[in-house]
Chains A and B, each alone.
Chain A
Amino acid sequence: MTIEVSSLKELVEQASGDDRSPDTQEYFVNMGPQHPSTHGVLRLVLKLDGERVLRCIPVLGYIHRSIEKISEHMNYMNCVHLTDRMDYLSSIMNNWAVSKAVEEAAGIEVNSRIQYIRTIFAELERIQSHQLWWGVLGMDLGAFTPFLYGIRDREVLNDVMEETVGARLTMNYVLPGGLMADIHPNFVHRVKEFIKYFRPKLDEYDDLLTNNVIIQERLRNVGVLSAQTAVQYGATGPVLRGSGVAFDLRKDHPYGVYDQADFEVPVGTVGDSWDRYWVRVEEMRQSLNIVEQLLDNIPPGDFLVKKLNSKIKIPEGRYYSQLETARGILGVFIASDKKDEPYRMHYRSPNFNNLWCLEPMIKGDYIASLIGAMSSLDLVIPDIDR
């Protein structure tokens, strides 16, 4: 298998070289970079035949902040706070990914209290990320109410996390060797209250969107991604699981304390937008289960095992570590040359791979379906560009 890297200009030229049918005219349209439903600064070059999408070429780089390069001049503790700004809806999971990589490389053992708190926070973040996605999906399909409902419930959860962390979006809570702070004394109680509050709200979500025939029709059979294509493109997370591949790092290669929790991995059958929708809504329920099971068993212990002022040094070599964020697998690659700064830091971000599934998904479908399909991918653009 050969991979040819072609520039955008070449791609467009290739695409415009196709045969034209005598009675329709094919044309190019730019969607984005400021289109509201691209959820950020993503530009899609669309080749259209009437309303049918023939090609869809994503153009990246509008929000590139060279996080990987900046990391090369920072110690590992400081690298972490940059990852907040990649996939800002799973900031704690991003922090954890780097911390996990550094801990594995430097041989730092963290106690089980830290692991429990990290796991609980990761699941809470997953819920809040899916809440926002759910609301935005409704808004993309033309329903404004779900957005307000999603944001309302996310607000409750954000407050719970803010009490412990101190920040709402760029949390920087997990550090190599521990946590920024211990959980707030109110935390356990408030999470329990949230679970009680949110379970019935999920049924409300079903009333608002899931059971609505119009929404169903706009998602069913739209943006079908076969399991094979999903694997080929390296899609992960709900996108892969929606296509029927039951691969979840939390289950298959447990990290943190996921092996102590009993939960299911929802898997779709067809691979259309509806499956991805269903998988995410179901994941929120499963995350609630995980949190509920772990919450009462947080063992006592320190929240930081390594004294922070001593800079962490990693032995020479290359290290890779990965975990499951709300959107898929985030991999962290560190090449170290014995210094306290990485020689090279690379992130394998889930959104980047998921984005490229858009073209095989949407080819031949209507442009209106593109919005729904893209929404079901749950893209966060800053994570793609980094």
Chain B
Amino acid sequence: MATTTPVPTETECPPMDFGDLKSECVAPRPSIMGQKRSLRSILWLSFKGILRGLLTTLSYFRRPSTVVTQQYPENRETLEMFERYRGRLSLIHNEEGEHGCTACQICERLCPNASIIITKDKKNEATGKPALDQFIWRQDTCTFCNICVLVCPFDTLEMTGDFESSVYDRRLLVFNLNEYAGPTAGQLDKLDDEELAKEQMKPMKKYQGPIPMCGGEMDGIPKLDVEKSTDV
């Protein structure tokens, strides 16, 4: 078993020639096994090395508390993500269900891979100001770079801890983040007519709430035949 490590000799490792610059073989380090040792001492050395590693591993049986394995997905209920974890993007809605997005489109412009598409109503009938129509977020192209959250001047975006997003069709990864198409919370508060405000906050008909658009039709994404896809 005592094979010596091959040390490249002059013929096996000829000096490389690059014009003026030449490489050379460096003096080899004295080999442990290459020294004149008895078979017994070599065996003992190897055995000692292996034993030391094995003892280290075995010592963990005495310290079961240091075992770090997490039983995912069994621990789903108790699993806690860090508050800053970059999971699914969400548009923050307050307790009354109002969002704060003014459809300024800064996030859309600064998203590096065009994962955000914002359509807006140029002049809302109630407030006379531009209002958000659809906030579309394409998780399938998003790189979770956090830039949209950082640049939003009204702090209306956040990354949630939701990381389980496997689906069978990537068209299911296109989300509509706003729950209603209409003015922001601030603009709605300014309205005198409560009925009118309520009217503005009607849930969206076309794409209901912050759920996948379920393969709904949009530019570049053909409609998904839900019946044909295996698991929705």
What is the interface of chain A, defined by CB distance below 8 A to chain B?
1-2, 52, 74-75, 77-78, 81-82, 143, 145, 152, 155-156, 159, 162-167, 170, 172, 180-181, 184, 204, 207-209, 211-218, 220-222, 224, 226-229, 232, 269-272, 274, 308-309, 360, 363-366, 369
Does the CB pair B23–A81 fall under 8 Å? no
B86 on interface, CB distance cutoff 8 Å: yes
Say which residue of B68, B112, B159 sits within 8 Å of A78 (CB atoms): B112
B170 on interface, CB distance cutoff 8 Å: no
Q: How far is the CB of B12 from chain A (nearest CB, A)?
A: 3
Say which residue of B21, B110, B144 sits within 8 Å of A228 (CB atoms): B21
Does the CB pair B6–A369 fall under 8 Å? yes
| Chain A residues closer than 8 Å to B21, beta-carbon distance | 1, 228, 232
Does the CB pair A166–B8 fall under 8 Å? no
Does the CB pair B84–A81 fall under 8 Å? no
Provide 5 A-B residue pairs closer than 8 Å at the C-beta atoms, listed in order of the A residue.
A1-B21, A2-B19, A224-B26, A224-B28, A363-B12
Say which residue of A213, A227, A363 sits within 8 Å of B8 (CB atoms): A363
B141 on interface, CB distance cutoff 8 Å: no
| Chain A residues closer than 8 Å to B9, beta-carbon distance | 364
Q: How far is the CB of A84 from chain B (nearest CB, A)?
A: 8
Complex Cα distance, B68 from A204, in Å, reads: 17
Q: How large is the interface on B (under 10, 10 to 19, 20 to 34, 35 or more residues)?
A: 35 or more
Query: Contacts A165-B84, A369-B6: A180 and B146 contacting too (C-beta < 8 A)?
Result: yes
Complex Cα distance, B48 from A282, in Å, reads: 23
Query: Contacts A212-B50, A220-B29: A232 and B110 contacting too (C-beta < 8 A)?
Result: no
Output the nearest chain B residue to A1 by Cβ-Cβ distance. B19
Output the nearest chain B residue to A205 by Cβ-Cβ distance. B56
Output the nearest chain A residue to B161 by Cβ-Cβ distance. A166
Say which residue of B19, B24, B26, B151 sits within 8 Å of A270 (CB atoms): B26
Complex Cα distance, B15 from A364, in Å, reads: 11
Complex Cα distance, B106 from A181, in Å, reads: 19
Does the CB pair B146–A211 fall under 8 Å? no
Q: How far is the CB of B163 from chain A (nearest CB, A)?
A: 10
B64 on interface, CB distance cutoff 8 Å: no
Say which residue of A81, A224, A365 sits within 8 Å of B147 (CB atoms): A81
Query: Contacts A163-B82, A221-B5, A365-B8: A170 and B19 contacting too (C-beta < 8 A)?
Result: no
| Chain B residues closer than 8 Å to A166, beta-carbon distance | 82, 84-86, 146, 159
Does the CB pair B56–A221 fall under 8 Å? no
Does the CB pair B50–A221 fall under 8 Å? no
Complex Cα distance, B8 from A269, in Å, reads: 17
Complex Cα distance, B28 from A270, in Å, reads: 7
Complex Cα distance, B144 from A167, in Å, reads: 8
Interface centre among A216, A217, A369 (most CB of B within 10 A): A217
Residues from 25 to 72 in B contacting A, C-beta threshold 8 Å = 25-29, 31-33, 45-46, 48-50, 52-53, 55-57, 68
| Chain B residues closer than 8 Å to A270, beta-carbon distance | 26-29
| Chain B residues closer than 8 Å to A204, beta-carbon distance | 56
| Chain A residues closer than 8 Å to B159, beta-carbon distance | 166
Does the CB pair A216–B32 fall under 8 Å? yes
| Chain A residues closer than 8 Å to B19, beta-carbon distance | 1-2
Q: How far is the CB of A357 from chain B (nearest CB, A)?
A: 10
B13 on interface, CB distance cutoff 8 Å: yes
Does the CB pair A226–B147 fall under 8 Å? no
Complex Cα distance, B26 from A227, in Å, reads: 9
Taking chain B's interface residues, is the majority helix, strand, or loop, or is none over half, making it mixed?
loop
Does the CB pair A212–B33 fall under 8 Å? no
Complex Cα distance, B9 from A365, in Å, reads: 10
| Chain A residues closer than 8 Å to B147, beta-carbon distance | 77-78, 81, 172
Q: How far is the CB of B143 from chain A (nearest CB, A)?
A: 6
Complex Cα distance, B170 from A301, in Å, reads: 43
Complex Cα distance, B147 from A250, in Å, reads: 29
B16 on interface, CB distance cutoff 8 Å: yes
Complex Cα distance, B150 from A165, in Å, reads: 13
Output the nearest chain B residue to A204 by Cβ-Cβ distance. B56
| Chain B residues closer than 8 Å to A213, beta-carbon distance | 32-33, 45-46, 48-49
Complex Cα distance, B203 from A51, in Å, reads: 71
| Chain B residues closer than 8 Å to A269, beta-carbon distance | 29
Query: Contacts A52-B12, A363-B13, A364-B8: A181 and B25 contacting too (C-beta < 8 A)?
Result: no
Interface centre among A155, A215, A274, A364 (most CB of B within 10 A): A364
Does the CB pair A217–B32 fall under 8 Å? yes
Complex Cα distance, B68 from A156, in Å, reads: 9
Does the CB pair B8–A145 fall under 8 Å? no
Does the CB pair B56–A207 fall under 8 Å? yes
Complex Cα distance, B11 from A364, in Å, reads: 9
Q: How far is the CB of A251 from chain B (nearest CB, A)?
A: 24
Does the CB pair A207–B150 fall under 8 Å? no
Does the CB pair A229–B16 fall under 8 Å? yes
Complex Cα distance, B38 from A289, in Å, reads: 42
Q: How far is the CB of A384 from chain B (nearest CB, A)?
A: 21
Query: Contacts A172-B145, A184-B84, A221-B5: A232 and B23 contacting too (C-beta < 8 A)?
Result: yes
Does the CB pair B6–A226 fall under 8 Å? no
Q: How far is the CB of B199 from chain A (nearest CB, A)?
A: 33
Complex Cα distance, B49 from A222, in Å, reads: 20
Output the nearest chain A residue to B28 by Cβ-Cβ distance. A221
Output the nearest chain B residue to A268 by Cβ-Cβ distance. B29
- Against A, the Cβ 8 Å flags (1 = close, 0 = not) of B181-222 are 000000000000000000000000000000000000000000
| Chain B residues closer than 8 Å to A220, beta-carbon distance | 5, 29, 31-32
Output the nearest chain A residue to B111 by Cβ-Cβ distance. A78
| Chain B residues closer than 8 Å to A75, beta-carbon distance | 110
Output the nearest chain A residue to B49 by Cβ-Cβ distance. A212
Output the nearest chain B residue to A74 by Cβ-Cβ distance. B112
Q: How far is the CB of B49 from chain A (nearest CB, A)?
A: 4
